[in-house]
Structure formats: structure tokens, C-alpha cells
């Protein structure tokens, strides 16, 4: 019996080694508040990946070597290459010095609701899995958790701090005006000056709220402006100043912004993209709520605005 003991022990050890060292696929999931298609957009952009993938997200972003053409992120001995992509997934080939591993990140449908899941899949051994994995594997798992936190911030997706609020300002005196291509500033000032005078003359109870919406129309601009009032009254149909109500407690998607006025178009585009991505219904024209005293400013002036997009 003793002569079989050693072969049995060796066979058992070989079996255990086989179990521990045989490659196997492991996967981890996180939830995204966005749809599968929307979530998939951020998996293949090196600029976005660098904000959540270790070790790049812990380093000075100005010192990272990011190539959109080559789809790479490099810092010292650390390199991430997005080597294969679809609209919903990317394979990241990650290396540190001579160590390298491949990791598949995929956005997939969540059967619970309209949100989605992001899945991390990679190949490892049972032994590595039991011991926590290599540094590259641990970084991938922590990075997935980092991504989950990033996905909670709309600025990560859309570039601006978007949020939802309810309508509080409801009663306005409004007016419209068409101006030439270089008369946006002049037209805005004239509209607000007229509305503020009308509010005073009609004892409408101006409450300090001013909203504005410019639209490119042909070679010029079509302008809409409103000033908030506390009193309700009827205005004749042909009156250039009209009283309008905004539905109370309806929803607004907003961005509070301080910076050059020329960025407002970019913010409006981000608001529209958010509304489209979330399949919202646009309820009215977007508008700029002035959060400063002056309404006489040019394209490069530093302004403080709340840019709003009504939705349902």
C-alpha cells in the first residue's frame, strides 16, 4: 500500500495545481444610470478612461500622454491601449513594465430598467483569484468601482454640471425682437430695458428674474426675453409686451455657469444631448436665466447664468 502513497500524493498535488493554475474567466458588474448605448460611448475614449482607470486617474492629467488616434494612455512604465472596440465595448491591453494583461469592458442591457450594466471580464487563475490577483488585475477591479462613481456625475458624460430642478418662476412679461447678425448684445439690452420699463409702468411687481433665448435666424437673430413679475393680468394680442405663465413645479434641466458667454451654445448642446439620451420630452424653449445685474454684455464677457431646458 505504501508504494502507492507517493504516486497518489503526486497525483493529488498535480490535480490541485491544475485547478489552481488553469486559466479561467472572471467577471464583475457595476450599474450605470444611463442606457446601454449611452454608457458604451465612454468606454472607448482615452480622455475619459484616464479619469477613472488606475493609476492614471491619480496622476497629474497634464503629464499624461494621451493619444486619441492610437487610443493609448501612457505615464512612465504604465501603458493602456484600447486594442479592440465596438460601440458597446473595449479591450484594454494594460501593462506595467514587463507585466501585461487584457481586460474587456462592456456595456450591456439591464433587465431591471432602462439603465445598464458595465461588465469587466478577464482571464486569470483560481490561485490569483484566491490571493486577490496581480497588481494589474486589482487595478482593473478598483477602476471599475471608480467608473461606477464617475457615472453618477453628469459632468463626466456631458462636460458640464447638469442637474434637475422644478420650476419656481412662473409669471413673466415677455417680448420678441429680430436683429442683425452683429446686434445680439444691443438687441438683448433693448429688450430688457423695454420690459423693465413696462413692468414699472404697469406696476407689475418686477421680482428680479430675467430670462433670455436667442435663436440664429437667417443672417440675423430672433430674440426672446422675459422679466419675472408678481402680478397676473391680461395683455392685448397686439401688445408688444405679453404676459405669460410657466407651469409651476414642472421640470427643468439646468446648468449653473460662470464663464465666457461664448460657451453657452456648448452647454445648450449638452442639455439637449442629456434630454435625448434620457428620452425626455422637450416642453418649451431653452432659456438663459441671468444671475447677475447686467444684461448688457458681449460674447467674450464673463457671465453668471442658469441655462435651463424645460422637459417632461
The pLDDT of 88-93, averaged and rounded, is 94
Shared-domain flag, residues 172 and 139: no
Backbone angles phi, psi at 85, to 5 degrees: -135, 155
| Enclosing domain of residue 69 | 24-152
Q: Please report whether residue 238 resides in a domain.
A: yes
Q: How far apart are CA 38 and CA 275, in angstroms?
A: 12
- The pLDDT value given to residue 207: 95
Q: Please report whether residue 13 resides in a domain.
A: no
Q: Please report whether residue 14 resides in a domain.
A: no
The pLDDT of 236-244, averaged and rounded, is 92
pLDDT tens readout for residues 30-49:
999 888 988 998 899 999 99
CATH number at residue 224: 3.20.80.10
Q: What share of the chain is helix, strand, coil (3-state, %, to 5)?
A: 30, 40, 30
* Domain stop point among 152, 181, 197: 152
- The pLDDT value given to residue 18: 46
Q: Are the beta carbons of 244 and 174 closer than 8 angstroms?
A: yes
Q: How far apart are CA 268 and CA 256, in angstroms?
A: 12
Shared-domain flag, residues 232 and 289: yes
Q: How far apart are CA 286 and CA 263, in angstroms?
A: 15
The number of beta carbons lying within 10 Å of the beta carbon of residue 62 is: 5
Shared-domain flag, residues 300 and 179: yes
pLDDT tens readout for residues 273-306:
998 888 888 778 899 999 999 999 999 999 999 9
What are the angstrom distances between the C-alpha of 229 and each of 26, 160, 170, 187, 206? 61, 30, 8, 21, 4
The pLDDT of 263-273, averaged and rounded, is 94
Give me the percent of the chain exceeding a pLDDT of 70: 89
Shared-domain flag, residues 187 and 282: yes
Q: Does pLDDT of 206 surpass 70?
A: yes
- The pLDDT value given to residue 247: 75
Range with the poorest average pLDDT among 9-13, 140-144, 244-248: 9-13
The pLDDT of 150-160, averaged and rounded, is 92
Shared-domain flag, residues 173 and 306: yes
Cα 303 to the chain's mean position, in Å?
22
Cross-strand partners of 162: 255
Shared-domain flag, residues 134 and 220: no
What does the block give as the cell for 260?
465666457
The dihedral formed by the CA atoms of 44, 47, 49 and 55, expressed in degrees to the nearest 10: 140
- The pLDDT value given to residue 20: 46
* Domain stop point among 152, 182, 213: 152
The DSSP line for 32-56 is ESS-HHHHHTTSS-HHHHTTTSTTG
Shared-domain flag, residues 174 and 306: yes
> How many alpha carbons lie under 13 Å from residue 163 in its C-beta half-sphere?
8
Q: Does pLDDT of 215 surpass 90?
A: yes
Shared-domain flag, residues 111 and 176: no
- Secondary structure letter of residue 68 according to DSSP: T
Shared-domain flag, residues 253 and 169: yes
What is the number of domains present in the chain? Answer: 2
CATH number at residue 147: 3.30.530.20
Shared-domain flag, residues 175 and 270: yes
Q: Please report whether residue 303 resides in a domain.
A: yes
- Read off the pLDDT band of 3 (50, 70, 90): low
Shared-domain flag, residues 139 and 55: yes
Round the average pLDDT of the chain to a whole number and report it.
89
Q: Please report whether residue 292 resides in a domain.
A: yes
Q: Please report whether residue 12 resides in a domain.
A: no
The number of beta carbons lying within 10 Å of the beta carbon of residue 103 is: 22
Q: How far apart are CA 88 and CA 114, in angstroms?
A: 16
- The pLDDT value given to residue 136: 94
The number of beta carbons lying within 10 Å of the beta carbon of residue 61 is: 12
What three-state secondary structure class fits 201?
A: helix
* Domain stop point among 152, 177, 200: 152
Q: Please report whether residue 6 resides in a domain.
A: no
Shared-domain flag, residues 136 and 170: no
User: Which H/E stretch holds residue 80?
Assistant: strand 78-85
Amino acid at each position: 500500500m505504501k508504494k502507492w502513497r507517493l504516486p497518489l500524493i503526486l497525483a493529488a498535488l498535480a490535480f490541485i495545481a491544475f485547478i489552481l493554475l488553469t486559466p479561467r474567466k472572471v467577471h464583475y458588474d457595476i450599474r450605470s444610470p444611463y442606457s446601454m448605448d449611452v454608457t458604451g460611448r465612454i468606454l472607448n475614449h482615452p480622455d475619459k478612461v484616464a479619469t477613472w482607470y488606475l493609476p492614471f486617474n491619480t496622476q497629474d492629467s497634464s503629464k499624461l500622454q494621451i493619444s486619441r488616434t492610437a487610443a493609448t494612455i501612457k505615464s512612465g512604465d504604465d501603458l493602456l491601449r484600447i486594442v479592440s472596440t465596438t460601440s458597446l465595448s473595449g479591450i484594454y491591453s494594460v501593462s506595467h513594465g514587463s507585466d501585461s494583461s487584457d481586460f474587456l469592458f462592456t456595456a450591456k442591457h439591464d433587465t431591471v430598467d432602462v439603465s445598464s450594466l458595465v461588465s469587466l471580464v478577464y482571464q486569470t487563475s483560481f490561485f490569483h483569484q484566491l490571493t486577490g490577483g496581480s497588481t494589474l488585475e486589482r487595478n482593473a477591479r478598483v477602476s471599475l468601482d471608480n467608473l461606477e462613481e464617475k457615472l453618477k456625475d453628469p459632468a463626466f458624460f456631458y462636460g458640464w454640471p447638469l442637474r434637475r430642478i422644478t420650476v419656481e418662476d412662473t409669471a413673466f412679461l415677455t417680448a420678441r425682437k429680430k436683429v442683425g447678425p452683429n446686434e445680439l448684445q444691443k438687441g438683448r439690452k433693448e429688450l430688457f430695458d423695454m420690459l423693465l420699463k413696462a413692468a414699472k409702468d404697469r406696476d407689475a411687481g418686477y421680482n428680479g428674474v430675467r430670462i433670455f433665448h436667442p435663436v440664429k435666424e437667417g443672417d440675423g437673430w430672433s430674440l426672446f426675453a422675459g422679466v419675472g413679475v408678481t402680478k397676473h393680468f391680461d395683455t392685448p394680442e397686439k401688445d408688444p409686451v405679453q404676459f405669460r405663465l410657466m407651469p409651476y413645479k414642472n421640470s427643468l434641466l439646468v446648468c449653473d455657469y460662470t464663464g465666457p458667454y461664448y460657451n453657452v451654445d456648448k452647454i445648450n448642446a449638452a442639455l439637449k444631448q442629456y434630454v435625448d439620451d434620457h428620452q425626455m420630452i422637450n416642453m418649451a424653449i431653452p432659456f438663459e436665466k441671468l444671475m447677475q445685474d447686467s444684461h448688457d454684455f458681449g460674447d467674450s464677457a464673463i457671465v453668471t447664468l442658469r441655462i435651463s431646458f424645460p422637459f417632461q
